[in-house]
Amino acid sequence: MPHQTTSPAVEVDWGQSNEKVEEMQANGEIPKDSKRKRVVVVGLGMVGIAFIEKLLKYDVKRREYDVIVIGEEPHLAYNRVGLTSFFQHRHVENLYLNPKEWYESMPEGCLEYHLNTLVTDIDYINKLVKTAQGGIVHYDILVLATGSEALLPRHTPGHTANGVFVYRTIVDLQNLIAFAATKNGTTGVVVGGGLLGLEAAKAMMDLNEFKKVKLIERNRWVLSRQLDGDAGGMVVEQVRNLGLDVLLSKRVERINTDTENNVTGVTFEDEESMECSCICFAVSCGATIQYVATDMV
Ligand SMILES: Cc1cc2nc3c(=O)[nH]c(=O)nc-3n(C[C@H](O)[C@H](O)[C@H](O)COP(=O)(O)OP(=O)(O)OC[C@H]3O[C@@H](n4cnc5c(N)ncnc54)[C@H](O)[C@@H]3O)c2cc1C
């Protein structure tokens, strides 16, 4: 498994703390070759990095822990809540919760991070995690911060077609932006009229690639988990005034495709059909725990 960088991490100015640690080491207050516990954190998301920052902050004097964080995504921990701003600035670094230099400024051995690395198995008995690349990492303490993943409606025929997206990661957005650029003048669709769906629809409109963006919602108004019918109806009116085409009480029965598995449209449960080239599902997300129950032997 490639070693990306090493360092400990704290919220305070590390420059000062680093000197402090060195001073303490010189005074013998911190044993240099201590048998520190290794904390392996799976998931370099918002929760994973918040945990690491806190742990290393409180551990700065005693130096009891070394942290290895393993993340599936190709990016350092970023602000997922602010993901939609990526459509404007297109700079991944703008979303980073800590710049790369922060990770690299840490004293050796405290914090090691691995990107593009999926943890696939946990061996609780021998205290090991295994990665998709075949790496095996020992832990004393294991922290799972694997968050959630956007769900596709796998029961819907056509959900694997080219042009079907979800809205969860920087890579999802990069793929959507690149795809939209090849579908200029066509119709883009968002399925799901919740907060995320509305956010995705606005972002797709702002891309200025699609001739029309349509939002499909199975309920009678959008934001149905947050608002009653009156308030939800007002939001529908507002977003329609912004140019978003909102289709209510509509359930997608299947995604229509051509012979090369490209999206060509959707058919609803009432058998009505609609043309489109791109569908972004913002319907649900579920905990990313698929490997947790697996014991590696
Ligand atoms: C567009 C958008 C807007 C949002 N807006 C808001 C908002 O306004 N307010 C709000 O409260 N919440 C919002 N959320 C939700 C919020 O982003 C999440 O609640 C938050 O990101 C959860 O953090 P997390 O670290 O638990 O999980 P995640 O952010 O999902 O991070 C988990 C990380 O673990 C990695 N991972 C998972 N499994 C493995 C594995 N086996 N091996 C290695 N790595 C793994 C994942 O790739 C991911 O990088 C929004 C989400 C989106 C997508």
pLDDT for residue 294: 56
**Full strand arrangement of the beta sheet holding 273-275:** 252-257, 263-268, 273-275
In this structure, are 189 and 124 located in the same domain? no
Q: How far is CA 170 from CA 92, 93, 266, 276, in A?
A: 8, 11, 26, 23
24 is written with which tokens? 């303490």
Amino acid type, 34: S
CB-based contacts of 104: which residues, under 8 Å, 6+ apart?
5, 7
SS3 141: strand
Q: What is the band of 17 on the pLDDT scale with cuts at 50, 70, 90? A: very low
In this structure, are 43 and 118 located in the same domain? yes
SS3 150: strand
Is 113 inside a domain boundary? yes
Phi and psi (nearest 5°) for 140?
Answer: -95, -40
- Ligand 1 centre to CA of 160 (Å) is 23
Q: Is the pLDDT of residue 10 over 60?
A: no
In this structure, are 101 and 74 located in the same domain? yes
pLDDT, tens digit (0-9, with 9 covering 90-100), for 71-89: 999 999 999 999 999 999 9
Is 87 inside a domain boundary? yes
Is 295 inside a domain boundary? no
Contact in structure between 188 and 176 (CB atoms under 8 Å) = no
The separation between the first and the last C-alpha atoms of the chain, rounded to the nearest angstrom, is: 20
Burial grade of 284 (CB within 10 A; 0-12, 13-18, 19 or more): middle
Is 190 inside a domain boundary? yes
In this structure, are 55 and 168 located in the same domain? no
Cα–chain-centroid distance for residue 174? Answer: 13
Full residue range of the structural domain in which residue 249 is found: 150-285
In this structure, are 121 and 39 located in the same domain? yes
- Ligand 1 centre to CA of 147 (Å) is 5
Q: Is the CB of 146 under 6 A from ligand 1?
A: yes
Chosen domain end from 99, 114, 146 = 146
- pTM for the full predicted model: 0.87
The candidate with the shortest Cα–Cα distance to 162, out of 183, 192, 148, 144, is: 183
In this structure, are 187 and 205 located in the same domain? yes
SS3 23: helix
In this structure, are 74 and 44 located in the same domain? yes
Q: Is the CB of 83 under 6 A from ligand 1?
A: yes
- Ligand 1 centre to CA of 82 (Å) is 11
Candidate from 70-74, 97-101, 287-291 with smallest mean pLDDT:
287-291
CATH assignment of the domain containing 142: 3.50.50.60
- Ligand 1 centre to CA of 193 (Å) is 20
Is 294 inside a domain boundary? no
In this structure, are 164 and 260 located in the same domain? yes
Higher pLDDT, 14 or 204: 204
Q: Is the CB of 71 under 6 A from ligand 1?
A: yes
In this structure, are 49 and 128 located in the same domain? yes
Contact in structure between 202 and 240 (CB atoms under 8 Å) = no
Q: Is the pLDDT of residue 167 over 50?
A: yes
Q: Is the pLDDT of residue 151 over 80?
A: yes
- Ligand 1 centre to CA of 118 (Å) is 15
Q: Is the CB of 75 under 6 A from ligand 1?
A: no
Residue of 69, 72, 296 to mutate, ligand 1, most atoms within 8 A of C-beta = 72
- What is the tally of structural domains in the chain? 2
Is 297 inside a domain boundary? no
Tell me the percentage of the chain whose pLDDT exceeds 70.
86
Phi and psi (nearest 5°) for 119?
Answer: -85, 125
In this structure, are 251 and 263 located in the same domain? yes
Is 98 inside a domain boundary? yes
Chosen domain end from 146, 168, 196 = 146
Chosen domain end from 146, 177, 204 = 146
Q: Is the CB of 278 under 6 A from ligand 1?
A: no
The CA-based angle 93-94-98, given to 5 degrees, is 65
Is 47 inside a domain boundary? yes
* Residues β-bridged to residue 70: 42, 114
